[in-house]
Amino acid sequence: MDTRTKELQNFRPNKTPAKKTVKEIIYHVVGIVISVIFVLPIVYMIATSTKSESAYAASVGTLNMFLPDFANLGVAFENYGNVLLNYDIWKYALNSCIYALIVIVLNILVNGLAGYVMAKLTFPGKKLLSFMIIFLIVVPVETSIIPLYSIVKIMLGLKQQMSVLGVILPATISIFNIFLFMQFFENIPKEYEEAARIDGASTLDVFFKVIMPLSKPIIATVAVFCFIGVWNDYLWPSMILPSADDGSWPLLPIQTALITIKSIESITTGEIMASLVITSIPIFVIYVAAQKYIVQGFGTSGLKM
Protein backbone atom coordinates (compact mmCIF):
# COMPACT_ATOMS: atom_id res chain seq x y z
CA MET A 1 0.00 0.00 0.00
CA ASP A 2 1.58 3.25 -1.11
CA THR A 3 1.79 6.45 0.92
CA ARG A 4 -1.01 8.17 -1.04
CA THR A 5 -3.46 5.37 -0.20
CA LYS A 6 -2.57 5.52 3.50
CA GLU A 7 -3.16 9.27 3.57
CA LEU A 8 -6.59 8.82 1.99
CA GLN A 9 -7.53 6.12 4.50
CA ASN A 10 -6.42 8.22 7.46
CA PHE A 11 -8.13 11.36 6.18
CA ARG A 12 -10.93 12.67 8.38
CA PRO A 13 -12.96 15.72 7.37
CA ASN A 14 -12.68 18.64 9.76
CA LYS A 15 -15.86 19.11 11.67
CA THR A 16 -16.79 22.49 13.06
CA PRO A 17 -17.18 22.22 16.83
CA ALA A 18 -20.69 22.79 18.11
CA LYS A 19 -19.52 25.56 20.47
CA LYS A 20 -17.97 27.47 17.57
CA THR A 21 -21.18 27.20 15.54
CA VAL A 22 -23.27 28.48 18.46
CA LYS A 23 -20.88 31.41 18.96
CA GLU A 24 -21.09 32.34 15.29
CA ILE A 25 -24.90 32.22 15.39
CA ILE A 26 -25.01 34.42 18.51
CA TYR A 27 -22.48 36.79 16.94
CA HIS A 28 -24.55 37.25 13.79
CA VAL A 29 -27.85 37.52 15.66
CA VAL A 30 -26.48 40.19 17.99
CA GLY A 31 -24.97 42.05 15.03
CA ILE A 32 -28.29 42.02 13.17
CA VAL A 33 -30.20 43.23 16.24
CA ILE A 34 -27.76 46.09 16.82
CA SER A 35 -27.88 47.05 13.14
CA VAL A 36 -31.69 47.13 13.20
CA ILE A 37 -31.65 49.32 16.33
CA PHE A 38 -29.39 51.83 14.59
CA VAL A 39 -31.22 51.71 11.25
CA LEU A 40 -34.80 52.03 12.56
CA PRO A 41 -34.57 55.76 13.46
CA ILE A 42 -33.21 56.50 9.97
CA VAL A 43 -36.02 54.50 8.35
CA TYR A 44 -38.55 56.29 10.57
CA MET A 45 -37.10 59.68 9.63
CA ILE A 46 -37.24 58.98 5.89
CA ALA A 47 -40.72 57.48 6.08
CA THR A 48 -42.14 60.38 8.10
CA SER A 49 -40.68 62.92 5.67
CA THR A 50 -43.06 61.60 2.98
CA LYS A 51 -46.26 62.04 5.04
CA SER A 52 -48.72 64.78 5.77
CA GLU A 53 -49.54 65.66 9.36
CA SER A 54 -52.76 63.62 9.29
CA ALA A 55 -51.05 60.58 7.75
CA TYR A 56 -48.28 60.80 10.33
CA ALA A 57 -50.78 60.97 13.20
CA ALA A 58 -52.63 57.94 11.84
CA SER A 59 -49.41 55.87 11.59
CA VAL A 60 -48.13 56.57 15.11
CA GLY A 61 -47.94 53.38 17.15
CA THR A 62 -48.20 51.08 14.12
CA LEU A 63 -45.74 49.49 11.71
CA ASN A 64 -46.83 52.06 9.12
CA MET A 65 -44.71 54.64 10.92
CA PHE A 66 -41.68 52.92 9.35
CA LEU A 67 -43.21 52.80 5.85
CA PRO A 68 -43.27 55.74 3.40
CA ASP A 69 -46.63 57.02 2.18
CA PHE A 70 -46.39 55.70 -1.39
CA ALA A 71 -50.01 56.60 -2.10
CA ASN A 72 -49.35 60.34 -1.70
CA LEU A 73 -45.83 60.96 -2.96
CA GLY A 74 -46.83 64.50 -3.84
CA VAL A 75 -46.79 65.26 -0.13
CA ALA A 76 -43.14 64.21 0.02
CA PHE A 77 -42.17 66.63 -2.77
CA GLU A 78 -44.15 69.33 -0.99
CA ASN A 79 -42.36 68.72 2.30
CA TYR A 80 -38.90 68.83 0.75
CA GLY A 81 -39.83 71.80 -1.45
CA ASN A 82 -41.06 73.84 1.51
CA VAL A 83 -37.93 73.10 3.51
CA LEU A 84 -35.57 74.02 0.70
CA LEU A 85 -37.38 77.07 -0.68
CA ASN A 86 -39.73 78.56 1.90
CA TYR A 87 -37.43 78.11 4.90
CA ASP A 88 -34.17 78.91 3.03
CA ILE A 89 -32.39 75.88 4.42
CA TRP A 90 -30.18 75.85 1.33
CA LYS A 91 -28.57 79.10 2.47
CA TYR A 92 -27.57 77.59 5.80
CA ALA A 93 -26.34 74.46 4.02
CA LEU A 94 -24.20 76.60 1.71
CA ASN A 95 -22.75 78.38 4.74
CA SER A 96 -21.79 75.05 6.31
CA CYS A 97 -20.18 73.88 3.06
CA ILE A 98 -18.09 77.07 2.83
CA TYR A 99 -17.05 76.88 6.47
CA ALA A 100 -16.19 73.19 6.09
CA LEU A 101 -14.09 73.76 2.96
CA ILE A 102 -12.03 76.50 4.61
CA VAL A 103 -11.61 74.51 7.83
CA ILE A 104 -10.53 71.40 5.91
CA VAL A 105 -7.80 73.24 4.00
CA LEU A 106 -6.48 75.03 7.10
CA ASN A 107 -6.72 71.88 9.21
CA ILE A 108 -4.66 69.83 6.79
CA LEU A 109 -1.98 72.53 6.47
CA VAL A 110 -1.67 73.54 10.14
CA ASN A 111 -2.20 70.18 11.81
CA GLY A 112 -0.23 68.40 9.10
CA LEU A 113 2.78 70.65 9.70
CA ALA A 114 2.44 70.19 13.46
CA GLY A 115 2.22 66.42 13.08
CA TYR A 116 5.27 66.41 10.79
CA VAL A 117 7.32 68.41 13.30
CA MET A 118 6.33 66.08 16.13
CA ALA A 119 6.99 62.93 14.09
CA LYS A 120 10.16 63.74 12.15
CA LEU A 121 12.04 66.59 13.84
CA THR A 122 14.00 66.61 17.07
CA PHE A 123 13.88 69.59 19.43
CA PRO A 124 14.03 70.29 23.20
CA GLY A 125 10.80 69.52 25.06
CA LYS A 126 9.44 67.18 22.39
CA LYS A 127 8.49 64.45 24.89
CA LEU A 128 6.66 66.93 27.10
CA LEU A 129 4.78 68.34 24.12
CA SER A 130 3.83 64.83 22.99
CA PHE A 131 2.48 64.10 26.46
CA MET A 132 0.44 67.32 26.41
CA ILE A 133 -1.06 66.40 23.04
CA ILE A 134 -2.17 63.00 24.31
CA PHE A 135 -3.48 64.55 27.52
CA LEU A 136 -5.50 67.23 25.72
CA ILE A 137 -7.22 64.61 23.57
CA VAL A 138 -9.16 63.35 26.61
CA VAL A 139 -10.10 66.84 27.85
CA PRO A 140 -13.76 67.56 26.97
CA VAL A 141 -14.27 70.38 24.47
CA GLU A 142 -17.02 71.87 26.64
CA THR A 143 -14.49 72.83 29.31
CA SER A 144 -12.77 75.26 26.94
CA ILE A 145 -15.83 76.92 25.40
CA ILE A 146 -16.15 79.79 27.91
CA PRO A 147 -12.41 80.70 27.90
CA LEU A 148 -12.37 80.40 24.11
CA TYR A 149 -15.41 82.65 23.82
CA SER A 150 -13.73 85.28 25.97
CA ILE A 151 -10.54 85.15 23.87
CA VAL A 152 -12.42 85.36 20.57
CA LYS A 153 -14.61 88.20 21.83
CA ILE A 154 -11.59 90.23 22.95
CA MET A 155 -9.53 89.61 19.80
CA LEU A 156 -12.23 89.78 17.11
CA GLY A 157 -14.95 91.82 18.78
CA LEU A 158 -17.62 89.49 17.32
CA LYS A 159 -18.66 91.97 14.63
CA GLN A 160 -20.88 90.93 11.73
CA GLN A 161 -18.03 89.84 9.44
CA MET A 162 -15.36 89.13 12.06
CA SER A 163 -17.65 86.62 13.77
CA VAL A 164 -17.12 84.27 10.82
CA LEU A 165 -13.43 84.10 11.76
CA GLY A 166 -14.56 83.16 15.25
CA VAL A 167 -16.07 80.01 13.77
CA ILE A 168 -13.22 79.15 11.39
CA LEU A 169 -10.06 79.91 13.38
CA PRO A 170 -10.77 77.81 16.51
CA ALA A 171 -11.71 74.86 14.29
CA THR A 172 -8.37 75.11 12.48
CA ILE A 173 -6.47 73.52 15.37
CA SER A 174 -7.38 69.97 16.34
CA ILE A 175 -5.31 68.02 18.85
CA PHE A 176 -6.77 64.74 17.63
CA ASN A 177 -5.88 65.52 14.01
CA ILE A 178 -2.33 66.44 15.04
CA PHE A 179 -2.11 63.07 16.75
CA LEU A 180 -3.40 61.29 13.63
CA PHE A 181 -0.89 63.05 11.38
CA MET A 182 1.93 62.38 13.84
CA GLN A 183 1.16 58.66 14.02
CA PHE A 184 0.88 58.39 10.24
CA PHE A 185 4.09 60.30 9.49
CA GLU A 186 6.09 58.14 11.92
CA ASN A 187 5.36 55.13 9.70
CA ILE A 188 6.76 56.78 6.55
CA PRO A 189 10.32 55.50 5.95
CA LYS A 190 13.10 58.04 6.48
CA GLU A 191 14.70 57.04 3.19
CA TYR A 192 12.19 59.18 1.28
CA GLU A 193 13.23 62.27 3.22
CA GLU A 194 16.95 61.49 2.97
CA ALA A 195 16.71 61.09 -0.80
CA ALA A 196 14.90 64.43 -1.10
CA ARG A 197 17.46 66.21 1.10
CA ILE A 198 20.32 64.81 -1.01
CA ASP A 199 18.66 66.53 -3.97
CA GLY A 200 18.72 69.81 -2.04
CA ALA A 201 15.13 69.90 -0.75
CA SER A 202 14.37 72.03 2.29
CA THR A 203 12.18 70.93 5.21
CA LEU A 204 9.08 72.52 3.65
CA ASP A 205 9.90 70.96 0.27
CA VAL A 206 10.13 67.56 1.92
CA PHE A 207 6.78 68.10 3.64
CA PHE A 208 4.83 69.35 0.60
CA LYS A 209 6.52 67.35 -2.17
CA VAL A 210 7.33 64.07 -0.42
CA ILE A 211 5.31 63.57 2.76
CA MET A 212 1.95 64.97 1.69
CA PRO A 213 1.70 63.00 -1.60
CA LEU A 214 2.29 59.83 0.45
CA SER A 215 -0.38 60.78 2.99
CA LYS A 216 -3.59 60.64 0.96
CA PRO A 217 -5.34 58.18 3.36
CA ILE A 218 -4.81 60.33 6.45
CA ILE A 219 -5.62 63.52 4.54
CA ALA A 220 -8.93 62.03 3.44
CA THR A 221 -9.62 60.86 7.01
CA VAL A 222 -8.95 64.30 8.49
CA ALA A 223 -11.01 65.96 5.74
CA VAL A 224 -14.03 63.76 6.49
CA PHE A 225 -13.74 64.36 10.23
CA CYS A 226 -13.47 68.12 9.68
CA PHE A 227 -16.50 68.18 7.42
CA ILE A 228 -18.60 66.15 9.86
CA GLY A 229 -17.47 68.33 12.76
CA VAL A 230 -18.31 71.61 11.02
CA TRP A 231 -21.54 70.28 9.54
CA ASN A 232 -22.81 69.01 12.91
CA ASP A 233 -21.57 71.95 14.99
CA TYR A 234 -24.33 73.88 16.69
CA LEU A 235 -23.33 75.23 20.11
CA TRP A 236 -20.24 77.25 19.18
CA PRO A 237 -21.64 78.91 16.00
CA SER A 238 -24.85 79.82 17.83
CA MET A 239 -22.72 81.62 20.45
CA ILE A 240 -20.51 83.44 17.95
CA LEU A 241 -22.60 84.22 14.88
CA PRO A 242 -25.44 86.78 14.81
CA SER A 243 -28.91 85.94 13.55
CA ALA A 244 -30.19 87.49 10.33
CA ASP A 245 -33.29 89.21 11.68
CA ASP A 246 -33.01 92.09 9.19
CA GLY A 247 -33.55 89.87 6.15
CA SER A 248 -29.89 89.81 5.12
CA TRP A 249 -27.98 86.66 4.20
CA PRO A 250 -27.73 84.46 7.32
CA LEU A 251 -24.29 83.49 8.61
CA LEU A 252 -25.46 80.60 10.75
CA PRO A 253 -24.68 76.99 9.69
CA ILE A 254 -27.12 74.22 8.92
CA GLN A 255 -27.65 72.85 12.44
CA THR A 256 -28.83 76.19 13.78
CA ALA A 257 -31.30 76.34 10.90
CA LEU A 258 -32.84 73.06 12.08
CA ILE A 259 -33.54 74.54 15.51
CA THR A 260 -35.03 77.64 13.89
CA ILE A 261 -37.22 75.60 11.56
CA LYS A 262 -38.42 73.37 14.41
CA SER A 263 -39.62 76.41 16.35
CA ILE A 264 -41.92 77.58 13.52
CA GLU A 265 -45.54 77.11 14.61
CA SER A 266 -46.95 76.15 11.20
CA ILE A 267 -44.30 73.55 10.35
CA THR A 268 -45.37 69.91 10.12
CA THR A 269 -43.60 66.81 11.39
CA GLY A 270 -43.01 65.69 7.81
CA GLU A 271 -41.21 68.95 7.01
CA ILE A 272 -39.05 68.61 10.13
CA MET A 273 -38.06 65.10 9.12
CA ALA A 274 -37.42 66.26 5.55
CA SER A 275 -34.97 68.86 6.84
CA LEU A 276 -33.22 66.15 8.87
CA VAL A 277 -32.95 63.94 5.80
CA ILE A 278 -31.47 66.80 3.78
CA THR A 279 -28.84 67.50 6.42
CA SER A 280 -27.94 63.81 6.72
CA ILE A 281 -27.35 63.17 3.00
CA PRO A 282 -24.00 65.02 2.62
CA ILE A 283 -22.45 63.22 5.61
CA PHE A 284 -23.62 59.85 4.30
CA VAL A 285 -22.32 60.48 0.78
CA ILE A 286 -18.93 61.80 1.91
CA TYR A 287 -18.38 59.00 4.39
CA VAL A 288 -19.27 56.29 1.86
CA ALA A 289 -17.03 57.88 -0.79
CA ALA A 290 -14.05 58.17 1.58
CA GLN A 291 -14.59 54.99 3.60
CA LYS A 292 -11.68 53.17 1.98
CA TYR A 293 -9.26 56.00 2.76
CA ILE A 294 -10.55 56.29 6.32
CA VAL A 295 -9.83 52.60 6.97
CA GLN A 296 -6.37 52.95 5.44
CA GLY A 297 -5.70 56.11 7.42
CA PHE A 298 -6.57 54.48 10.74
CA GLY A 299 -4.70 51.31 9.87
CA THR A 300 -1.47 53.07 8.94
CA SER A 301 -1.77 55.42 11.94
CA GLY A 302 -1.57 52.51 14.35
CA LEU A 303 -5.21 52.86 15.45
CA LYS A 304 -7.81 50.12 15.48
CA MET A 305 -11.19 50.67 13.90
* Average predicted confidence (pLDDT) for the chain: 81
pLDDT of residue 109 exceeding 90, the answer is yes
> Is the pLDDT reported for residue 208 higher than 60?
yes
Confidence of residue 305 (pLDDT cuts 50, 70, 90): very low
Rounded distance between C-alpha atoms, residue 194 and residue 192, angstroms:
6
Is the CA virtual torsion 201, 120, 287, 278 positive or negative?
A: negative
Report the length, in residues, of the chain.
305
The pLDDT of 220-226, averaged and rounded, is 89
Residue 254 · residue 89 · CB < 8 Å = yes
pLDDT at 304: 45
- Residue 244: pLDDT band by 50, 70, 90 thresholds? low
The domain spans of the chain are 15-84, 87-300
CA dihedral for 208, 174, 299, 135, sign (positive or negative): positive
pLDDT of res. 100:
92
CATH number for the domain running over 87-300: 1.10.3720.10
Residue scoring higher pLDDT (193 or 163): 193
The C-alpha atoms of residue 146 and residue 114 are separated, in whole angstroms, by 25
User: Residue 280 contacts by C-beta under 8 Å, 6 or more apart in sequence?
Assistant: 42, 45
**Taken in order 81, 83, 86, 90, is the CA torsion positive or negative?**
negative
- Per-residue exposure over 15-43, b if at least 16 CB sit within 10 Å of its own CB, e if not: eeeeeeeeeeeeeeeeeeeeeeeeeeeee
Query: Which of the two residues, 69 and 95, has the higher pLDDT score?
Result: 95
Q: According to the model, what pLDDT value does residue 297 have?
A: 60
pLDDT score of 299 more than 80: no
Q: Which DSSP state fits 144?
A: G
> CA-to-CA distance for 167 and 161, rounded, in angstroms?
11
Q: 259 and 234 in contact (C-beta within 8 Å)?
A: yes
Q: What is the pTM of this model?
A: 0.79
